[in-house]
Structure 1
């Protein structure tokens, strides 16, 4: 019988097959795999927070990273004859590049308004470096009489186990505890530690005196760079972030779901979620009155609010004398905490009113369960959908036929629904797509729009079963600062340069509205 193939050791050094060396090197494989996956997840996270994270962008990053892995494997061929020093050098470079990647992307975005070029470059460079690891490690592990199949099995097992650790560490440990910039820097430090351990305890006999000196110096310099980044990370974030906002930042926090920023200049307090303006205190009454009061024309008693975590919609609902109960479903508890503290004066402490019941949950999941719960979570006289613009796939699902079908299911007979629908001027495709999508759920729709200085021309969709509802204010409506009957009648008229568009609805299967919104932003 023919003996199984054995991989040779190119540099003539003794094989690393000892009981001590092999486990250490396989552990290094697992650590490197964990770091490599974290770097990819950093890029994907930044693609969401900085570039909007569309399906196309996410797919390009994943595909580009995988392609770069192949390029890196080929590029490692000339280095196999000097696998030991090449591996140590590779890990040092990867630790620095990966550790600095989030900082570079964030600074590029804040100073130049885009980070696409840096994102592509970081994906390519990190992918090539990670791809070169496996050929070098296979070379280092070869030569002890083990077959190629057994060697690949060991490497794959260590690699996949490390990837699992990295995949869990990023969303559950690094990102929530230290954030994107410090998280990538910590991962870079781990990469450097792995390189140092391998150089000192596994490859010492394969590194000459000069190589060991160079490796030590490079490790010290790289560790110093990342240590400075860890110490200065907050200053870098604050300086870069302030460039994104015209007014001084007075509050900034990153929740499990989004970045939340408050700015203030004089009386103008503004809330931003993931960089998108949610309201300006000097004119939010225009938006909030236009959103809420048309859906109260029939003097509803029980009202459901989906989103609206700032408490402004609840404030207007509680001003109407017929409203006795408001159920508010908001995903992010951090927004609710802000609404009950820093925003309480603006929303008149609405979320602490006994008539308001807060539910911290995903709106889609809550609606799906509400129809079959039998616990009073259905039968609403009115529903207010006040959600951020659908510029990501996650938000796009909340502007789908399926979502509005679930909303219609919890409406009482004769109940009405209102949806904030974006700008018919700046994002006309997204606006009319929302109107078409609401209609596709079997509801009659009445589109309307008003001017909000901080937003521009802004649109809404009023809907009910059985036909388009009339635009009207209740005779019992409180005195409003902006909206009246004449203004509401005019709101139903659209100019000739922004005519109604009959578009295919957006669905879970085809979230067309995400591309509509992003295209409108780009224009």
Structure 2
């Protein structure tokens, strides 16, 4: 082990300040890990596998960092400042680096792996350096004293991690966003290192080393400050590279990134980078989703999802519909439906027949209104994350079944029957496993390709694909088209698969495998 220089021990009154710095650095370290996890979800869809790899990789890097720093323990003061400076810079730049890389190359996997390794190793180097600093120059440290020191250090470290874990989702991410949030954490990291260097480490650093340390810290602060100032422009430029058309709305709600583009008469909605509709052909999708549910002329209809208001628009065109209950999780989507999308949804959500409920559909279904619904339309985003996968589970459709009136009809958007056939037929099988009789069908939507749906009923026999005799004229769907929609080619023939459940969300893996193919 490298010998520690014969210098005076850290004054007892300075130990609380150093432990406070430990807590601050731990908070920043956990924020960096959460930045990586958040970006893996936003840019690549996240998922259990990717999340597990990032967490495991970060923890493994902690151990590697603790070993790699051993040769520098003889110069713990200088090494600590260097580690915190690098950590502040790399952590502060992590979000913008991943985001820009993804915008240019449509992938950020290699940078994500490298960032996990570097940040984890630097965080892992902190504790050995801090233990060395706290013990430097002391001759009265026995086994019990070492235990108390380690207990204090661990308590400060874990307390800081708790603060970082709470600050990221509740303060930094909603208030500053990913790029600015990471940069702010980096600045705090650098500031903590500067305070420690100025008040505690100057007794152990030469004047030249101290000036070098402050110059490096100042350069890091200037770099991160510049990023904070330019973050908005960088994000706009990087985001625009991801979309072919000019962006007219870009916002991050508490649940998702929402982007709206417009080119001429084509208005498009993207959620977390996935296209939700194009105003040029959305009528094909919307009519195919809604019209089969109207076959028995319902009076009371429930819409789960569909925050753009397009499904509500089609329902209100039907003469027998007296009430539509719209359950949407994201209030920002409701705002856009009433403003940006009002022209294409014809102000549906402001119609007196529509009651908007801002709630999680799964939770809302567990305590629904006592009066059942004659029809239900489920218009959820594709289940490419576990959070969305639960909305395609047997348990979810069982709750939907419980709110259907006898003989009621249900329609579900189920993804591409051609590009992601496993996910499509998994949805059909899952709806059936919930005790509903199913009729699969699909239509061509140019923006999406061959797109599939499920019609279901709580009756014993699969419901027929028919239009109501009272149906208003449609732009795309007539009885001949709907009848043909129930026919599947031999290379996409119907299959029965195990249902997707909360315990085993198979559909998430199905969807990702289909995307990879």
Measured against aligned partners, the alpha-carbon deviations of 1:101-134 in whole angstroms (never above 9, x if no partner) come to 0011000100000000100100000000000000
Q: How is 1:86-235 mapped onto 2 (pairs within 5 angstroms)?
A: 86-143=79-136, 144=138, 145-146=140-141, 147-235=145-233
Q: How is 1:358-437 mapped onto 2 (pairs within 5 angstroms)?
A: 358-370=356-368, 375-376=369-370, 378-437=371-430
In structure 1, the partner of 2:16 is 23
Distance 1:13 1:94 in 2: 27
In structure 2, the partner of 1:240 is 238
SS in 2 for 1:62: helix
* CA apart distance, 1:473: 0.2
Distance 1:397 1:14 in 2: 60
Contact 1:9 1:139 in 2 (8 A): no
Contact 1:450 1:457 in 2 (8 A): yes
SS in 2 for 1:260: strand
* CA apart distance, 1:17: 4.0
In structure 1, the partner of 2:481 is 487
Distance 1:11 1:381 in 2: 81
Distance 1:300 1:17 in 2: 78
Distance 1:109 1:32 in 2: 28
Distance 2:18 2:375 in 1: 63
Contact 1:9 1:142 in 2 (8 A): no
* CA apart distance, 1:90: 0.5
Distance 1:11 1:269 in 2: 68
Distance 1:464 1:392 in 2: 27
* CA apart distance, 1:68: 0.4
Contact 1:401 1:440 in 2 (8 A): yes
Distance 2:509 2:275 in 1: 19
Measured against aligned partners, the alpha-carbon deviations of 1:220-246 in whole angstroms (never above 9, x if no partner) come to 111111111001101110111001001
Residue from 489, 504, 520 that aligns with 2:498 = 504
Gaps of at least 5 residues in structure 1 are 1-6
* CA apart distance, 1:8: 11
SS in 1 for 2:12: coil
SS in 1 for 2:367: helix
User: Is the counterpart of residue 516 in structure 1 residue 510 in structure 2?
Assistant: yes
Contact 1:17 1:141 in 2 (8 A): no
Contact 1:69 1:131 in 2 (8 A): yes
Distance 2:2 2:11 in 1: 13
Contact 1:445 1:461 in 2 (8 A): yes
Distance 1:520 1:103 in 2: 29
* CA apart distance, 1:210: 1.3
Distance 1:390 1:467 in 2: 28
Distance 2:217 2:378 in 1: 54
Tell me the number of residue pairs that the alignment of Structure 1 and Structure 2 aligns.
511
In structure 1, the partner of 2:353 is 355
Distance 2:6 2:344 in 1: 74
In structure 2, the partner of 1:66 is 59
SS in 2 for 1:419: strand
TM-score for the superposition, normalised by structure 2 = 0.98
Contact 2:2 2:73 in 1 (8 A): no
* CA apart distance, 1:9: 7.7
Measured against aligned partners, the alpha-carbon deviations of 1:17-46 in whole angstroms (never above 9, x if no partner) come to 421x10110000000000000000000000
Gaps of at least 5 residues in structure 2 are none
User: Is the counterpart of residue 33 in structure 1 residue 22 in structure 2?
Assistant: no
SS in 2 for 1:270: strand
* CA apart distance, 1:217: 1.0
Distance 1:464 1:274 in 2: 32
Contact 1:48 1:54 in 2 (8 A): yes
SS in 2 for 1:475: coil
**C-alpha RMSD of the superposition:** 1.1
In structure 1, the partner of 2:336 is 338
Contact 1:295 1:418 in 2 (8 A): yes
Distance 1:236 1:45 in 2: 19
SS in 2 for 1:346: helix
* CA apart distance, 1:74: 0.6
Distance 1:129 1:277 in 2: 38
* CA apart distance, 1:418: 0.6
Q: Could you tell which deviates more after superposition, 463-472 or 85-94?
A: 463-472
* CA apart distance, 1:166: 0.5
Measured against aligned partners, the alpha-carbon deviations of 1:458-496 in whole angstroms (never above 9, x if no partner) come to 000000122211100000000100000000000000011
SS in 2 for 1:417: strand
Residue from 74, 77, 80 that aligns with 1:81 = 74
SS in 2 for 1:469: coil
SS in 2 for 1:212: helix
In structure 2, the partner of 1:53 is 46
Q: Could you tell which deviates more after superposition, 382-391 or 500-509?
A: 500-509
Measured against aligned partners, the alpha-carbon deviations of 1:125-165 in whole angstroms (never above 9, x if no partner) come to 00000000000001111154341110110001101111111
In structure 2, the partner of 1:3 is none
Moved over 6 A (4+): none
Distance 2:90 2:515 in 1: 31
TM-score for the superposition, normalised by structure 1 = 0.97
SS in 1 for 2:491: coil
Residue from 272, 275, 284 that aligns with 1:274 = 272
* CA apart distance, 1:266: 0.5
* CA apart distance, 1:89: 0.6
